[in-house]
Structure 1
Amino acid sequence: MDGIAGRKPALIWAVHLSVALLVILWTLPTFGLLVSSFRDKDQLSVSGWWTSLTSTERNVMVRVPAPNDDGAQVLEGSVYVIAGNVFDEGGAGDISAFGISSREPGAYEAGEVVTTKDGERISVQESGDYRIESDVEMTGKRGQRLFFTVLEPPLFTLDNYRTVLWSEGIGKSFLNTMTVTIPATVIPILIAAFAGYALAWMRFPGRTFLVAMVVGLIVVPLQMSLIPLLRLYTDIGIGKSYIGIWLAHTGFGLPLAIYLLRNYIKSLPKEIIESAKVDGASDFEIFVKIVLPLSFPALASFAIFQFLWTWNDLLVATVFLGNNEEQLVMTGRLRELLGSRGGNWEILTASAFVSIAVPLGVFFALQRYLVRGLLAGSVK
């Protein structure tokens, strides 16, 4: 029965199950991305991360040395033989089936001997050893094609991270990103803190209109202002510079910052502010000595949002900094590692975790203030 001591209502269980489901839905793709970042690039391109703990089947084609190549064909007794291993060029695994035609790549079991129309006898063992025999000398400028299905064990490697972390210019791009992110986080916080206090506690004409305008600016797409801002910056001489991108991120982040901080500061006890004014404190002294220390949860909340947004940004950095090697940020550098086709999945997965390492550290350091800052002012 609902409401009896010791038992939880059905609604609470439904809420708990819903939250658990949402956590799983958010965590599962991230876990899959993490697993993929350590997988061998060949296995990653042909199978999903959920198969990473089991052996994977892969169809491969190799061309053995041509009979006319030096040393390829040897005479053993009265039989001409071409032998080797299909994994000589790299790879490993157990071969379960093979074929000599692309139409039937797995027509024969490993170890089975196949006779071609030319009288050649071909076999491929589970270990990858192949043997082509003929009673007469084999001729031809091209080697026999062998198709086989290999059962590969799970392969994990750190090569993906080595490629990303030790790529040329990645250190410079990291410093460039820090150069952009830290000022672009601190500057809007400082401005928004002053504006939030003014809109919350200072009386002046047009205050309500300014609050409404700030709320309205939150939903304005930043893409609308990119080109006009770039033209303005170019005209005044700060185009393609750090000052320009700092100001751009500041402008794009201020509406949300002012909204959050104004709500939080407004929720502070009115008696504290009034007592300080009675004691003769100015608005600046009240703000610096009372409001600012009490507003740390809200400041931390916005710092998380702004830092994550600026660190992971590519669009604004491309517009206001360009692709100059000396000013290229992390997201731009990782984009270049992917190449023009973007098919290097091993680079993509490793790059994702390299790029989120610092934001994760910032989030876990400040996350205890996140909910307090976001919910401040929502109830009285």
Structure 2
Amino acid sequence: MSDRVSVNRILLVLLVLMVCLLLRSTLPKNAGQVPQEHAAEAHDVVPVVICASEERMGASMATINSIISNTDASVFFYVVTLRDAVRLTRCIFELQKYEPHFVPNMEISGFLPVLLPKIHLDPISYIPSCLKEIKNFVLQLNFVRFYLPLLDILHSRVIYLDDDIIVQGDIRDLFNIKLKPGHAAAFATDCDLPSTHETVRSIGMQTTYMGFLDYRKQEVKDLGINPSDCSFNPGVFVADMNEWKKQKVTKELEKWMEENFRQNIYSSAMAGGVATPPMLIVFHDKYTILDPLWHVRHLGWSPDVHYPENFLQEAHLLHWNGPFKPWNYPAVHLDRWEKWFIPDPSGRFSLERPDDDS
């Protein structure tokens, strides 16, 4: 009897080892390098960059789930996390069950915060007062969008998405937007959607450069940017990687991060994430405008202000930018986000709702 138990234990151990080896083979071992089989497909897939911070992993999974559930296109995800969280992130995504019941094609890579010039020394000073509780590693990942060329992306075009997003349309339509010659990116402007204007005014959101840059500073005046020019939100954009590199966009973004460190040129009433002002400067008058329905935003700026249901149904992409995230409470339009929520198998991420025992 004991011999049989021993044999069963050995077989069980071997089975576990085989499962681990199979799981390990589903994603590349070397972070930041897309395997050759994906390189061969690089011309006919929709590549999407999304960050996955350790404590918001469930948010990234919901975004990914909404994307793959609403398209029949082949989508490849560049999932970026902090370097020391790569192993955990890979494990969580491998164990996950997505809506269509398959594991999306993805490469998980690590981001080194030391890449950030100056700001990594004192990141909290760059956070708006309403977001002071945010953790440093969430802030650091906000700057991944500056360093797209360092992700070893094998595609000439890529979509970047924040993790507080649900995609309701076919992501292929966003990817296929025609960028104007010489433009490295396409964004949705903050003045483009009449249906949201009343909501934006009621919650005090800024829609112009005045809300992001300190026009009392000479460095800002010298830019020659009209303070009433429409701003844009960089939580969703399509990037032309060749133009990005050609125009040295990353170097320009770093330049304005360093300038803010020296001169404090951001507005004290900054109306968005800390990664927004440098992008507003670098891309001013040099970006293609997205269809506004591909970036319906401000859902996270008030726990009380709602959009009409028929407007939400028409939206291709919903963005809960702001402090009131849909996995927390209070927040608005929770049903739109929960439809794509997948329980985190690691137990690190869970929904906060009023009936929770916690």
Q: Fold match, TM over 0.5?
A: no
**Comparing both structures, which one devotes a greater share of its residues to helix?**
1
Q: TM-score range by the shorter chain?
A: under 0.3
Larger Rg: 1 or 2? 1
